[in-house]
Amino acid sequence: MKISELKAGLEQRGLVPRNRFGQNFLIDPALLKSIPKDAGVQTGDRVLEVGPGAGALTEELLAAGALVLGVEIDVGLHAWLQERFHHEISEGSLRLVEGDVLAKTERLHPEVEAWWNSGPPPRVVSNLPYVISGPFLGRLPGRPLLGAHILLQKEMAEKAAGRGGAGSLPVRLGLSFEVSLGRGLPPEVFWPRPKVDSIFLNLHPLEEAPSPAEEKVLRELLRLGFAQKRKCLLPRLSADFPAASEALTNSGVLETARPEEVPASLWLKAAREVIIQDSSSP
């Protein structure tokens, strides 16, 4: 979508870009055209697009033959999308949901959850609003997923890929997906221009990824483990997860270890021990 079209469309509807929803729209037509191919989108793929905005990327995803679910929190933009894509909506290639893609307790919007589980594993292709990047990415492990190609602030993407500081998110993503960084983008391809660079994050599911049950325990373990990074890990884990603490000790993790010093494979091993112990206790 050209910037002139975007500005005219917003103005006509009395809308302005909203910072609190992370509204930085893609305005480079050549770049937009290349995204579905870079994401590996094939005709008939089910694609979740978080925050379609004015529909610039949605249009390209539809042109690539995707069946798109778009979730948009901004009521004014949602109304514009409905108007703009009424044909695609009526023929069934696009479904729009108005609301917050994030629901409480690690889940997604109920309509997204229902859609996700009602067909083959989908892709996620999105210019993700920075305000929800971490929580959204944290909801991906444990779900069936064909792949994800997600545009993020560079710092966030590097963190998610385990290249910038420690945290539970890179551990969880790394256990479920092959995580790689894609093309970097300068602020000029957006309007309004963000103050930072952006980059695509690619996720490809691993065959040996944790099961949903393992992922659930892993999430709890990591949350507790990384909650007070400066304090020693094992004493904190032992109260709520004695089996995990024991598994890590048996694997050579020292009493004084910090969470970032524990390899991802050992976190998974610890989660598996918790499940075994839970299933054997009366």
Name the site residues for ligand SAM (rule: CB under 6 A).
21-26, 50-53, 56-57, 71-74, 77, 100-102, 127, 129, 131-132
- Nearer residue to ligand SAM within complex by CB, 133 or 245: 133
CB of 144 to ligand SAM, least distance (A): 21
Q: Count of CB atoms within 10 A of residue 184's CB?
A: 11
Nearest-approach distance from CB 40 to ligand SAM, in angstroms: 18
Query: What's the min distance (Å) between Cβ of 78 and ligand SAM?
Result: 9
Whether residue 127 contacts residue 57, with contact meaning beta carbons closer than 8 Å, is answered with yes
Residue 28 or residue 214: which is nearer to ligand SAM going by CB?
Answer: 28
Instruction: Give, for 165, the enclosing helix (H) or strand (E).
Output: none
DSSP state of 145: -
Of the pair 112, 262, the CB lying nearest ligand SAM is at: 112
Q: Which residue is nearest to ligand SAM (CB)?
A: 51
Which CB, 136 or 241, lies closer to ligand SAM?
136
Report phi then psi at 26, rounded to 5: -75, 130
Q: How far is the CB of 212 from ligand SAM (least distance, A)?
A: 23
Q: From the CB of 129, what's the least distance to ligand SAM, in Å? A: 4
Question: Which residue type, as a one-letter code, is found at position 126?
Answer: S
Cβ distance to ligand SAM smaller for residue 112 or 145: 112
Record the tokens describing residue 206, joined without a space.
């691993």
> DSSP state, 129?
-
Q: Which is nearer to ligand SAM, 190 or 267 (CB)?
A: 190
Q: Which residue has the tokens 């909650």?
A: 227
Nearer residue to ligand SAM within complex by CB, 74 or 273: 74
Q: Which residue has the tokens 């589980």?
A: 117
Query: How far is the C-alpha of 75 from the C-alpha of 73, rounded, in Å?
Result: 6
Provide the minimum distance between the beta carbon of 150 and ligand SAM in the complex, in angstroms, as a whole number.
11
Q: How would you classify the pairing of strands 147-153 and 177-185?
A: unpaired
Rounded to a whole number of angstroms, the minimum distance from the CB of residue 232 to ligand SAM is 36
Residue partners of 227: CB distance under 8 A and separation at least 6: 236
Please say which residue, 97 or 171, places its beta carbon nearer to ligand SAM. Answer: 97
**Helix ranges (DSSP H) in 25-163:** 29-38, 56-63, 75-84, 86-91, 110-116, 133-137, 154-160
Nearest to 188 by CA among 49, 14, 27: 27
Q: How far is the CB of 174 from ligand SAM (least distance, A)?
A: 25
Q: DSSP string of 54-86?
A: TSHHHHHHHHTT-EEEEEE--HHHHHHHHHHTH
For residue 154, the SS3 value is helix
